[in-house]
Amino acid sequence: MKISLNNIGRRFNKEWIFKHISKEFVSGNSYAILGANGSGKSTLISILTGSLTPSEGEITYSDTANIPVESIYQHISLAAPYLELIETFTLKEMVNFHFKFKRFAYGVDAKNLISILGLGKSAHKEIKYFSSGMKQRTKLALAFCSDTQILFLDEPTSNLDVQGIKWYQELVADFTKDRLTIIGSNQIQEYEFCNQTIQMSDYK
């Protein structure tokens, strides 16, 4: 899988958030999009996932053939602070609902995903009663454990404590091999495994 950006830029009103990004993202590599808060990391990720159109430039997706932007959602999974869970679902219902649209990663099913989460005792608890850390762990587990070619993570350790960060790093080790992984971050513990970085400050 490959994502190609050709002179991509995005502006809101008359202000450019970033411009002139030309870059290829290729399966088997992990990329960290770096920058301070407000630098455009999440905006760029929204463009890469196909949920936001660029103000200039072109984005293409290709595998054995080109993939239309309206179909790219079938190939990606995303965990981000702004991505909401369905609060009235129990954890088990949330997992079952998510995997009506995605396939489980190899060796994973609903039961051991909840085990990976370490939330077996909360399987029948409604999401609205979860702590912020439990919600973030749920978002991450759903993304990592989906059988998708591209994994997007935006500020993945938000609301996680030290133990949660270690758990996140174990997920990285177990579920990113051979995938195209793209992370928006300004925390070293989130992206230290990445073999390429992009500084948003280079595109102002």
Q: 12: how many CB neighbours lie within 10 A of its CB?
A: 9
Q: What is the pLDDT of residue 65?
A: 87
Q: What is the pLDDT of residue 79?
A: 97
Average pLDDT, the chain: 95
Q: 62: how many CB neighbours lie within 10 A of its CB?
A: 11
Q: What is the pLDDT of residue 64?
A: 83
Q: 48: how many CB neighbours lie within 10 A of its CB?
A: 25
Q: What is the pLDDT of residue 149?
A: 96
User: Can you tell me the mean pLDDT for 62-84?
Assistant: 92
Whether the per-residue pLDDT at 193 is higher than 90: the answer is yes
The domain spans of the chain are: 2-203
Q: Which residue type is seen at 8?
A: I
- Return the beta strands (E) in 52-199 as ranges: 56-62, 66-67, 76-79, 150-154, 180-185, 196-199
Looking at residue 161, what DSSP letter applies? Answer: -
User: Can you tell me the mean pLDDT for 116-135?
Assistant: 96
Residue 11's Cβ-count burial label (10 Å; 0-12, 13-18, 19+) is middle
Higher pLDDT residue, 137 or 14? 137
Q: Which residue has the tokens 């190939």?
A: 75
Torsion sign across C-alpha atoms 25, 29, 30, 36: negative
Output the CA angle 58-59-65, nearest 5 degrees. 125
Identify the CATH assignment for 2-203 out of 3.40.50.2300, 3.40.50.300, 3.30.40.10, 3.30.2130.10: 3.40.50.300
Chain centroid, CA 154 distance in Å? 6
String of b and e for 195-204 (b: at least 16 CB within 10 Å)? eeebebeebe
User: Can you tell me the mean pLDDT for 68-87?
Assistant: 94
User: Can you tell me the mean pLDDT for 23-50?
Assistant: 95
With bands split at pLDDT 50, 70 and 90, how would you rate the model's confidence at 185? Answer: very high
Output the CA angle 40-41-47, nearest 5 degrees. 85
CA nearest to 4, candidates 25, 18, 30: 25
Q: Which residue has the tokens 């080109």?
A: 66
With bands split at pLDDT 50, 70 and 90, how would you rate the model's confidence at 91? Answer: very high
| Distance in angstroms (rounded) separating the CA atoms of residues 6 and 13 | 22
Whether the per-residue pLDDT at 22 is higher than 90: the answer is yes
Total length of the chain: 204
pTM of the model: 0.94
Residue 91, token pair as written in the block = 């954890």
